[in-house]
Chain A
Amino acid sequence: MPHSGINVLFEGHNLVRLLGGLWTTVWIAALALVLGLSLGALLGALRTLKNPVLRLGLRLYLEFFRIVPTVVLLFLAYYLVPELFHVDSLPGSWMAVIAFGLWVAAEFSDIVRGALLSVPVHQRESGLALGMNRWQLFRYVLLPQALKLELPATINLATRVIKTTSLLMLISVMDVINIGQQIIEANNTTYRTGVFWVYGVIFIFYFVVDYPLSRWAQRLAAQQKV
């Protein structure tokens, strides 16, 4: 019976499995973001201090994660960490959370640093003149204003992280791409055009997750120009 191949999506539990893969993608990205944004905020704040050793160390950390391709980071985490630290009980998805988290922390530290430095010096002095110490100045003056400045860039970083999770199949994590690949291979003979439908659905999944974030970032950035 001739058909377009769309039925590949409704064979067995294929659609449910794809949705499950999407969930894996989303939770790994979400955890990596939680870990990375917290660590990155701290590192970014530390990078505004004048200590030269600290600055150099954190700068090297940033450059390392920026220069080394994400896929290499994933392999390093997946193959080297268990070897080096003699842990093999951690599944690949957790290794991915760690690798992505450290990458996000590096990128976010740069965003935070830039935002903190762009809070006008008058704001800093106003805070000091009210008797704030360094921590209070950071907590009540710099951080709230920096958060607002850095929000669009942060959301863009989040969309990048979600997209980059497509590399997870390389370390055998059952993310949405990997599951899609399995479905395509299993149905290759019966649905020769299945690949189109499976990747079409995956395309829509990524779009549905990323597009609202991207619009949100655009709106915030436009508001800040006013």
Chain B
Amino acid sequence: METEILKVTHLNKFYGARQVLFDVNFTLHQGEVLTLLGPSGSGKSTLLRTLNGLEAFQAGTLTFNGQPVVADEAHWQKLRQKIGMVFQSYDLFPNLTVLENITLAPVKIQGRSAATVQAEALALLERVGLSAYAKAYPRELSGGQKQRIAIVRALALHPELMLFDEVTASLDPEMVRGVLEIIKQLSQEAAMTMIIVTHEMNFAAQIADRVLFLADGKIVEDTPGQQFFAQPQTQRAQEFLDSMDF
């Protein structure tokens, strides 16, 4: 757990004149699961999107695997193959089959052999219990199935860090568990390093090695997972947990 994967220092982000992230600092180690919690509008998703260049930041530095991140489009394109991201809206490409969705980027962007990638994709599909759907189109799948495939699609690029942006927020309740199980497996079996934005407090309590609690664009607390849920250090976090009925 000692290798630093990501280091964020003095990160500030503005939308025009309005500041949305204030002096964010944290370090993420290999294999660690970091959960971003906080009320709506606290900047969790914005922070997550900043970490793979979908949002620009105006001040501060990011260091990925010991290398400072050059925040231009060309460098982000390379980095995004190492930083997988799954979104709230499970957007598979509707014109491609499940298997094609998964193999597209590894084959066309990373230039790996189609046969290898395909075999690997099928194995991943097997692991998430969806191998029967390899030839199906996204419209034939439920939301939960699509989201599981979106996770597989991101994993097929062999990322070193995974970002999950409220991946269960638009799923029907009965679909949520299957998706969360996969994320948990990924942490436990593959020791994947990840940053998770979620409103599922039980899930966060089970999986988080560390919690960053954000409010109004600032990190209010940076606490080990167990401790955060048992005994948050700030009044603000306690109120938040109370409001989430945790």
Name A's B-contacting residues (CB within 8 A): 120, 122-123, 125-134, 136, 140-141, 144-145, 148
Contacts and interface: CB of A to CB of B under 8 A. Distances in A.
A102 to B, nearest CB: 30
Of B85, B93, B94, most A-chain CB atoms within 10 Å: B93
Contact of A130 (B78, B95, B153): B153
B154 A140 contact: no
B154 A129 contact: yes
20 contacts: A122-B91, A123-B93, A126-B87, A126-B91, A128-B54, A128-B80, A129-B54, A129-B84, A130-B109, A130-B154, A131-B77, A131-B109, A131-B110, A132-B77, A132-B105, A134-B73, A136-B109, A140-B93, A141-B93, A144-B95
Interface in B88-122: 89, 91-95, 104-105, 108-110
Of A131, A132, A134, most B-chain CB atoms within 10 Å: A131
Contacts, number: 60
Top 4 closest pairs, chain A to chain B, by CB: A131-B81, A130-B105, A129-B85, A131-B80
Contacts of B150: 126
A130 B89 contact: no
Contacts of B93: 123, 126-127, 140-141, 144-145
Interface string B61-86: 00000000000011001111100110
B12 interface: no
A132 B109 contact: yes
A141 B77 CA distance: 15
A77 B175 CA distance: 62
Contacts of A140: 93, 104, 108
A136 B108 contact: yes
Given A130-B154, A136-B109, A140-B108, A145 B87 contact: no
Nearest to A125: B54
A167 to B, nearest CB: 38
B47 interface: no
A123 B154 contact: no
Nearest to A130: B105
Given A122-B89, A126-B91, A131 B153 contact: no
B52 interface: yes
A131 B157 contact: yes
A133 B85 CA distance: 16
Nearest to B52: A129
Contact of B105 (A120, A122, A131, A134): A131
B143 to A, nearest CB: 14
A54 to B, nearest CB: 19
Contacts of A122: 87, 89, 91
Contacts of A127: 93
A133 B54 contact: no
B95 A145 contact: yes
Contacts of A123: 91, 93
Nearest to A139: B108
Contacts of A129: 52, 54, 80, 84-85, 87, 154
Given A126-B150, A131-B110, A133-B73, 4 more contacts: A126-B92, A129-B84, A130-B109, A141-B93
